[in-house]
Amino acid sequence: MGSLVTDRGVLHFEMIGRGQPLILLHCWIGSWQFWRKTMEFLAASGNYRVYALDFWGFGESERQDEEPHKAYTVRSFVSMVQQFMDRMGIESASVFGHSMGGTVAASLALTWRHRVRKVAVVGSPLDGRSLSLLLKLSGNAWISKLLWSFPPLLDFIMWGYSPLIAHDRDNVYHMTRNTLSQTTMFSFSRSIDSLRRTDLRPELHKLTMPTLGIYGLGDWVVNPNQADVMAQYVPHAQVERWKRSRHFPMADEPERFNQTLLDFLKD
């Protein structure tokens, strides 16, 4: 367990292993905990020092209610990762992200190309319009306020939606529910609103480093057609389309998922 101070407060992270640096970024309404098993697997290879970060407003990182429109955006999260690398003395690293975290990872690679060795995105929207209607609505201020005012309603929606997210409904539901208790209304709504408005397609051709995309064909959170977007705009990318996975390939096909990441790192 570790923490450091950034320009928007304390950033929490977890670290395991020795070797080349690898940074893992979590999804919306997530935390570093979603990467725990993958961290252990990759670190066990003996070649990687794996860091998993909590975005501002999520997990154990600091929450800010002042100027939330600036604190919880894809751009601000890119700045957060860049500050983390500076503070930790990491000149370059491979950066992997799930869902929103993958969009941040790809944005970081586009902004600081010399600092990202390899980039991987998992079920990530490269075009924010690919988000499901429910997630788009969550970025609406009055809807998020309504949900926050009636926690049982939010919990009911999460429970009903969880089978569409992963086959392991109970595990993903409980992890998301626990993480939600560490989230504020502002980080909840502002971050997904920023993600909805993000479109990386015009810049994707600038991703010259090794690139991996993993998409579950049963994903109801992010349209699986984002795999086609990556294949079109990043011709050299390794694009995986998994029939048995939904939005959480790491939960639906954990062994295949972990081995695919390790093989990608080794290549």
Note the pLDDT tens digit of each residue in 99-132. Answer: 999 999 999 999 999 999 999 999 999 999 999 9
257: DSSP letter: H
- pLDDT at position 1, please? 74
- pLDDT at position 238, please? 98
CATH of 2-266, one of 3.30.1180.20, 3.30.70.2750, 3.40.190.80, 3.40.50.1820: 3.40.50.1820
Arithmetic mean of pLDDT, 21-46: 95
Return the closest-CA partner of residue 97 out of 21, 31, 178, 25: 25
- pLDDT at position 64, please? 72
187: DSSP letter: H
Give the residue carrying structure tokens 């049963």.
218
DSSP string spanning 194-237? HHHT-B-GGGGGG--S-EEEEEETT-SSB-TTHHHHHHHH-TT-
Q: Is 171 helix (H, G, I), strand (E, B) or coil?
A: helix
- pLDDT at position 173, please? 79
> pLDDT tens digit string along 172-229?
878 888 888 788 888 999 999 999 999 999 999 999 999 999 999 999 999 999 999 9
Ordered by start, the domain boundaries in the chain are 2-266
**Alpha carbon distance 55, 32 (integer Å):** 9
CA atoms within 13 A on the CB side of 58: 32
Would the pLDDT of 165 be above 90?
A: no
For the chain, how long is the longest CA-to-CA vector?
49
Residue environment code for 27-49, b if the CB has 16+ CB neighbours within 10 A, otherwise e = bbbbbbbbbbebbebbbeeeebb
User: For all residues of the chain together, what is the average pLDDT?
Assistant: 92
- pLDDT at position 67, please? 56
31: DSSP letter: -
List Cβ neighbours of 146 (8 Å cut-off, separation of 6 or more): 153
The helix (run of H) or strand (run of E) holding residue 248 is none
Q: How many CB atoms lie within 10 A of CB 22?
A: 25
> pLDDT tens digit string along 180-193?
878 888 899 999 99
Using pLDDT thresholds of 50, 70 and 90, give the confidence band for residue 160.
confident
**Alpha carbon distance 119, 138 (integer Å):** 28
Would the pLDDT of 66 be above 80?
A: no
Using pLDDT thresholds of 50, 70 and 90, give the confidence band for residue 69.
low
Would the pLDDT of 13 be above 60?
A: yes
Would the pLDDT of 145 be above 60?
A: yes
- pLDDT at position 150, please? 82
**Alpha carbon distance 251, 89 (integer Å):** 32
